[in-house]
Amino acid sequence: MTEPPTGTPEDAGRTATKATGTGTGTVTVPMIVAGICLAIPFVAMLWVDSYSRLTPAFIGIPFFYWYQMLWVLISTLLTVVAYTIVRRHERLQRSARAREAGERA
């Protein structure tokens, strides 16, 4: 059997944060923007009344179908934007921690 973890709950939070490499765990504006970019396609697709119709047709394809296919492309673009924002944010946090560690030494 395994032994129960030792330490306080606060210690567990710190180690989880360090293990994931997410820093302090604070919510920042870039992360909110990335989350919104990822949430927009879900809202657009779950709001069925907005595209539950046949007109306007595009090259003979009913609106219901081409609207959903358009969202496949839009979702891809928004996911790329969110990924770029998160990667840039992580890179900035890493460089700030490295600078901070360098100043302490």
pTM above 0.85, yes or no: no
Mean pLDDT value across the chain: 81
CA distances from 80 to 37, 75, 91 (A): 9, 9, 16
User: What is the 3-class SS of 41-71, one letter each residue?
Assistant: HHHHHHCHHHCCCCCCCECCECHHHHHHHHH
**Per-residue pLDDT tens for 53-77?**
888 988 898 988 899 999 999 999 9
- Interhelix angle for 63-104 vs 29-46, to 10°? 170
**Which residue type is seen at 20?**
T
